[in-house]
């Protein structure tokens, strides 16, 4: 292995992540300038749009699914595995969470709990198919998890487009779920989903730091073969981690459906691109949960600010996507984010 200490020859000692953000801001600013906009105005709009007191709830609300999808990516990444199937797993969770309160009788709070658990179970099981493909057949999970996403999305889209469609509207969506089965509102746009996601985030961090399983996962991330010789049951571990990862994706889908959209609408879970933003946040932190959560929250702020920028300066908000990718590319190239994983 050739990536032992590299000589420190950079002159200004700016820590990698702020430096990467600075590079992203400068390059993004140039892009705005070239296309005839005012970068200072654009960035001011992003910052106030994301962090002004009145806008904080919106940022938090956007952060719930994004941080959730960050955990989806970070959990396997901690062990050197990559789950690219977050989209499909999230959609399955969203659909299951919408169908439970629509078609099962029962008191509201119970329905919420059953819906969330059923969503997590369904998505978790779906995610383990990719793990099973690798442990039993040697099909790289990297690609099978992604490919499995397409059938999941297609079938869910078919279910709400035809058999279980809300025929009173012209769109491919389920009927609205009953009011009793919606997540309680905390204030403004914030609902109980925020609390659920905070609990899950804390649990993931605690599991990573203080349990045998978390230790074994980190060991696998450092050197999978060594972990295997050390007695870690690699196949079972992969299946378990993928189940957890998929279950969190299902939870994200369920929280969006039960907390803000109140129905499963075809494509609505996917258009914000939470999965890929979450994957980038997780990669940025190398799978370390706390860092990944912070990175996810940062991206959420950036994206929320992007909406404000688009409103006020007419600079398209996809600029924030460009910023994110410049940051991750800079870190990957200059500071070897992800290099620790075995790639050869």
Partner 1 sequence: MLDFITPFLVNSAVQAITPILLAALAGTLCGRVGVFNMALEGQMLVGAFAAVVGSYATGSALGGIVAAMLATVAFSLILAYGVTVFRGDAVVICVGMNLLASGLTAYLLRQMFGVSGTFSDPAIVGLEKIRIAAINGWPVIGWIFSRQTALTWVAWILVAVVTVVMFRTPLGLRLRGVGEDPEAAETMGVDVTRYRIVTVLVAGAIVGLAGAQLSLGTVSIFSEDMSAGRGWIAVVAVMLGRNHPLYAALACVLFGFADAFSVRLQGQGLPNQVTDVVPYVVTLVALVLTHTKRRRRQDPTITASP
CB 335 within 8 A of CB 16: yes
Nearer to partner 1, 252 or 337 (CB): 337
The DSSP secondary structure of 82-139, one letter per residue, reads ----HHHHHHHHHHHHHHHHHH--S-HHHHHHHHHHHHHHHHHHHHHHHHHHHHHH--
Q: Give least dist CB 339 to partner 1, A.
A: 5
Per-residue burial over 301-333, b if 16 or more Cβ lie within 10 Å, else e, is bbbbbbbbbbeebebebebbbebbebbbbbbee
Residue from 109, 178, 230, 336 that binds partner 1 (CB under 8 A)?
Answer: 336
Does 332 participate in binding partner 1 (rule CB under 8 A)?
yes
Nearer to partner 1, 13 or 344 (CB): 344
Burial class (CB in 10 A: 0-12, 13-18, 19+), 163: exposed
Q: How far is 60 from 69, CA to CA, in rounded Å?
A: 14
Nearer to partner 1, 125 or 143 (CB): 143
Looking at residues 203 to 262 of the shown chain, list those that interact with partner 1 (rule: CB under 8 A): 220, 224-225, 228, 234-235, 238
Q: Give least dist CB 32 to partner 1, A.
A: 9
Does 140 participate in binding partner 1 (rule CB under 8 A)?
yes
185 beta partners: 191
Does 321 participate in binding partner 1 (rule CB under 8 A)?
yes
Residue from 49, 80, 193, 259 that binds partner 1 (CB under 8 A)?
Answer: 80
Does 342 participate in binding partner 1 (rule CB under 8 A)?
yes
CB 45 within 8 A of CB 54: no
Residue from 22, 40, 150, 180 that binds partner 1 (CB under 8 A)?
Answer: 150
Does 31 participate in binding partner 1 (rule CB under 8 A)?
yes
| 110 contacts: CB under 8 Å, gap ≥ 6 | none
With contacts defined by CB under 8 A, how many residues of the chain interact with partner 1?
64
Identify which range of 62-70, 99-107, 185-193, 278-286 contacts partner 1 by CB under 8 A.
278-286
Identify which range of 49-57, 93-101, 185-193, 329-337 contacts partner 1 by CB under 8 A.
329-337
Q: Give least dist CB 259 to partner 1, A.
A: 26
Binding pattern to partner 1, positions 280-299, x when CB under 8 A?
Answer: x--x----------------
Q: How far is 182 from 98, CA to CA, in rounded Å?
A: 10
Q: Give least dist CB 24 to partner 1, A.
A: 11
**Rounded to the nearest 5 degrees, what angle is found at the Cα of 198, between the Cα atoms of 195 and 199?**
90
Does 38 participate in binding partner 1 (rule CB under 8 A)?
no
Q: How far is 332 from 262, CA to CA, in rounded Å?
A: 39
Residue 238, token pair as written in the block: 């992969």
| 111 contacts: CB under 8 Å, gap ≥ 6 | 100, 101, 104, 178, 180, 181
CB 296 within 8 A of CB 285: no
CB 255 within 8 A of CB 98: no
Q: How far is CA 24 from CA 15, 30, 62, in A?
A: 14, 10, 22
Crossing angle for the helix pair 193-210 and 56-78, to the nearest 10 degrees = 30
Looking at residues 158 to 197 of the shown chain, list those that interact with partner 1 (rule: CB under 8 A): 158, 161-162
Does 127 participate in binding partner 1 (rule CB under 8 A)?
no
Does 151 participate in binding partner 1 (rule CB under 8 A)?
yes
Q: Give least dist CB 318 to partner 1, A.
A: 4
Does 339 participate in binding partner 1 (rule CB under 8 A)?
yes
Binding site for partner 1 (CB under 8 A): 2-3, 31, 35-37, 80-82, 133-135, 137-144, 146-148, 150-151, 154-155, 157-158, 161-162, 220, 224-225, 228, 234-235, 238, 276, 279-280, 283, 316, 318-322, 324-326, 328-329, 332-334, 336-339, 341-344
């Amino acid at each position: 292995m050739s990536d032992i200490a590299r000589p420190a020859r950079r002159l200004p000692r700016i820590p990698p992540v702020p430096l990467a953000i600075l590079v992203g801001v400068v390059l993004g600013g140039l892009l705005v300038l070239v296309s005839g906009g005012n970068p200072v105005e654009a960035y001011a709009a992003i910052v106030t749009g994301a962090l002004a007191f009145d806008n904080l709830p919106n940022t938090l609300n956007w952060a719930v699914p994004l941080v959730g999808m960050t955990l989806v990516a970070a959990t396997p990444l901690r062990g050197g595995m990559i789950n690219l199937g977050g989209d499909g797993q999230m959609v399955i969770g969203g659909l299951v969470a919408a169908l439970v309160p629509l078609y099962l009788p029962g008191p509201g709070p119970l329905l919420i709990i059953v819906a969330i658990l059923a969503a997590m179970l369904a998505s978790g099981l779906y995610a383990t198919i990719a793990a099973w493909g690798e442990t039993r057949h040697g099909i790289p999970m990297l690609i099978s998890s992604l490919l499995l996403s397409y059938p999941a999305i297609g079938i869910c889209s078919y279910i709400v487009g035809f058999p279980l469609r809300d025929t009173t509207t012209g769109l491919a969506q389920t009927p609205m779920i009953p009011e009793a089965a919606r997540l309680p509102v905390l204030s403004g746009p914030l609902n109980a989903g925020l609390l659920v996601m905070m609990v899950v985030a804390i649990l993931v961090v605690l599991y990573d730091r203080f349990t045998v399983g978390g230790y074994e996962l980190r060991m696998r991330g450092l050197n999978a073969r060594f972990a295997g010789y050390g007695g870690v049951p690699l196949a079972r571990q992969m299946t378990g981690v993928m189940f957890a990862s998929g279950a969190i994706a299902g939870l994200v889908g369920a929280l969006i459906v039960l907390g803000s959209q109140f129905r499963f609408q075809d494509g609505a879970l996917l258009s914000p691109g939470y999965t890929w933003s979450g994957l980038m946040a997780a990669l940025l932190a190398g799978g370390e949960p706390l860092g990944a959560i912070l990175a996810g929250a940062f991206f959420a702020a950036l994206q929320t600010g992007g909406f404000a920028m688009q409103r006020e300066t007419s600079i398209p908000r996809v600029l924030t996507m460009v910023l994110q990718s410049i940051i991750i590319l800079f870190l990957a190239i200059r500071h070897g984010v992800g290099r620790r994983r075995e790639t050869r």
